[in-house]
Structure 1
Amino acid sequence: MTQTTNPTPVANTAARSQAIPQIAFDWYDQYAHGRIDRRTFMNRLMSLSAGGVALGTLTAALMPNYAEAEQVSFNDPDIKATYTTFPSPQGHGVGQGYLVVPTNLDGQAPVVLVIHENRGLNPYIEDVARRLAKAGFIAFAPDALYPVGGYPGNDDKGRSLQSSLDSAKMEADFMAAAEFLKNHELSTGKLGAVGFCYGGYVVNMLAARMPGQLNAGVPFYGTPAAEDIRDQVQAPLMLQFAGLDNRVNATWPDYEATLKANGVDYTAHIYPETNHGFHNDSTARYDEAAAELAWERTLAFFNTHLA
């Protein structure tokens, strides 16, 4: 089955975003993805400040506040979270990730790989892993920055570190993490993957490069795998897009054409009037209504394909 769904537009329920002009979100996206440097970004925000929007208001809204991103506490009695390493002979040799297991697990459970953005394993992604464990899945969130000391506690530094790593080795690390998780002693052997931004790209990459191992993938606002391998995708996909994310959305028509041509079971949801990163509840890009709907659909998708 293939379909593209355009839900009824949802209002951004984060009051802090109401005074932020859309152009500021667009600039932040350029900055977060390395298209402009921090100085250029701040200078552009200052131009809005001169127009009446306080610079402090802009930076506080756009920069992540991870204290606001915890929906499931790390000491929640329903889960057990630990850091564990895994072998990655084709990558950086050894990787590490955040493994979260339901405490009421009776036997084995389906597993879901959780893939971070372009700045390492930050608290928001760890919380996403805990949310999955609360829903009954075993979740594992690798940190691409482990070879250089791990997520540094700061997104700017994390982004710089991740951009310094060899991209082929990083991808090999994520494939090794997927194999580790799928073959974990508590795994049923059914593997899902969910990723955000860069992580969304990685989900698409895994679907293309591990077609016989990935059972379901949910990329949030992620670009497709390289054109020469994307026709290898076989696993069911649920693709989540932000309506205002012109950069990523421009890549979708060609990718959709490939999926259709190859008979891949996919569903694409586009959430109108939302920005790239709308699921991340640590910044003003967060759209509560869209994020909750997208997450509800994600869990239902995994329950269908990983059961």
Structure 2
Amino acid sequence: MKRLTTSLAVAAMLGATVASASPMYINLPSNSYDDGRRNGGLDPDTSTGIFEEFGYNQLFATSIYDYSDNSVFGSFFDTNDPATLASYGIPASGTSLDGSKEVDLVLPDCPRGQCDIDALSPLVPPLGSDNEGFLQTWDLQVEYTFFGDLSASGPSYHSGTFDVYFNDLDDDTNDRLVFSGELTGSVLSGANLDLFFDITFVVDDFLFIQNENGVFFDAHDKLAAGGTPRLVLDTNVNPPIPTPDELLLVSAPNGDGAVVRQTTLDGSITGTIPEPATLGLLGAGLLGIGFASTRRRKHA
């Protein structure tokens, strides 16, 4: 029994290490983005200071639930993709599903900041230092589509994409996709929701993440070498199960019924670079659990 308990503790500790957030920084193609408003002149380098998380506030979140069986339980998806939302013919307003009130809906307007990452926390502009012009000459915008299932215990997400775009506030020709994540799962605790992603694309020499040994690595290089940089999106879902007075009935493109709920979210996105050695130890810990369990069964 002691060996099994020890193996479980080791596996839990290693799992926590893999999932913990790591310091990050962003490297820009030119220091011309830092216009010197904070330092009295151009910063001589092209890198932001070190930050812990990408922060966002009041991000529009639209959830569309399959209502073909007159129940919100079952499949659903979240998205801020305007083309997808337009395909559902979502109106600006309408009467709630229970008829109790008027529900207003808004298609996300990215140019007006409704898709923005608001902070490289704790480098919060404009007071933070070494932002390299973040939110003054450039910002980051997100586009996402997450698929999941809703049950009586709340939402569970199983797939989807999360794309982050560099947005040059002065020259649209510099706008580009800088990294993408593929959703691998989620954990709901109360109203707090964590979504987990593997980074599947990142531009070279842009996003640097510190590993567990305190060394910063280019996420692009780690990915190219077969590693799997990861992201965790931490947000709030309140209430986790939508109520009829929040929902508006719409028509799905396939003709089936659907209901939509729109909320605003606050939260953060953190990154990690799990090391092969850690993953190997985690596997060994799990193997130890299995071995100890087998021995217990033989001697029971």
Q: What's the TM-score once normalised by structure 1's chain length?
A: 0.24
Which has more radius of gyration? 2
Give the helix-richer structure, 1 or 2. Answer: 1
